[in-house]
Chain A
Amino acid sequence: MAEPIPLDLSGTQRIVYPPIIDFLAHDPVLRAYVADFVPDPHVSQEQKESVYLRDGTDAARRIEELLSELSSILNAPVAVVKIAHAGGDSFDFYTADGGMIELHDSPSPQFSFDVYAAIQALSQEVQFEFIRQRRVGRVAG
């Protein structure tokens, strides 16, 4: 079962700001990563936006690399294949074997900030792909 990873928030306030990955998983039928995210308000006023990152594209390759990096930082026994935002600075990470790693309060700020750096990179990548697709008319603006 899930082992909560604590995060030390002493002396800090909020860590994660939009864009924030709300949900990310690969869909084998769509042959794409399906990503929901909370957008930066300068990008969209909606509470959430959604984008597909098709297999074989540069964006999908970068997501794959970042998920692999995240799995390594989390010391996950097997690869992280799904991310779900749980509100605020909390995230749930699902591994390929069905396990779940929860991220919230932690005694190791360095570890936590490494994880958040990976999450922020993923979130920025997804939002950038949304902006790119919106520009070429593949998602509604």
Chain B
Amino acid sequence: MAGESADLYKVRNRETLRRLDTGMEITRATKHEPIAFDSLSNEELRDCTDSRSGSKFLAEWTLAQLTDWTEQQVRLRGWRFPPGVQAAVRFQMPRPVGYVKGKLVRTITIFASGRYVHAFPDEDQDG
């Protein structure tokens, strides 16, 4: 829904983008959202996407797309709250999804902590 897509950007950092009927809540993590990568030097890009600053999604990963995709994965795993989940699940995607420490990566990690779930680009395990 167009209305929902726009409203997602009004949600504050680590507050709920979508509450599922299973009790799980997908939250917004602003530090992983796209930035203007083209204007950065290699060193700046590395600093802006390290563990302090947070890995960053490419612009094509809008909040609406990320929320839909995360919901799909949460439902596939049957995660519910209560009891909630403590898990980090990695997904190797067919195309690059974002930057980690200045490198393009294809991995998204879905991170569940209690009722809350969010996703971020993560290092590729195959190097």
B: contact size bracket: 20 to 34
Residue in A23, A46, A87 whose beta carbon sits within 8 Å of that of B53 in the complex: A87
Question: Contacts A17-B52, A29-B82, A85-B54 given; 7 further ones with Cβ under 8 A?
Answer: A30-B82, A30-B114, A47-B51, A47-B55, A48-B111, A50-B86, A100-B12
Q: Give A contacts to B, CB under 8 Å.
A: 14, 16-18, 20, 23, 27, 29-30, 32, 34-36, 38, 41, 46-48, 50, 52, 82, 84-88, 92, 94, 100, 139
Contact B51 A18 (CB under 8 A): yes
Q: Are B31 and A86 in contact (CB under 8 A)?
A: yes
Chain A at the B interface: mostly helix, strand, loop or mixed? strand
Whether the pair A85, B31 counts as a contact (CB closer than 8 A) is yes
Which residues on the A side are within 8 Å of B53 (C-beta)?
Answer: 87-88
Confirm or deny: B14 has a beta carbon within 8 angstroms of a beta carbon on chain A: yes
Contacts of B55 in A (CB 8 A): 47
Q: Is B42 an interface position by the 8 A CB rule?
A: no
Expressed in whole angstroms, the Cα–Cα distance for A36 and B111 within the complex equals: 9
Chain A residues in 8 Å Cβ range of B86:
50, 52, 139
Instruction: Tell me the smallest distance from the CB of B118 to a CB of chain A, in Å.
Output: 8
Residues of chain B contacted by A14 (CB below 8 angstroms): 52
B123 contacts the other chain (Cβ, under 8 Å)?
Answer: yes
Bound-state CA distance A36–B114 (Å) is 10
Given A27-B114, A30-B114, A86 and B13 contact (CB-CB distance below 8 Å): yes
A30→B31 contact, CB < 8 A: no
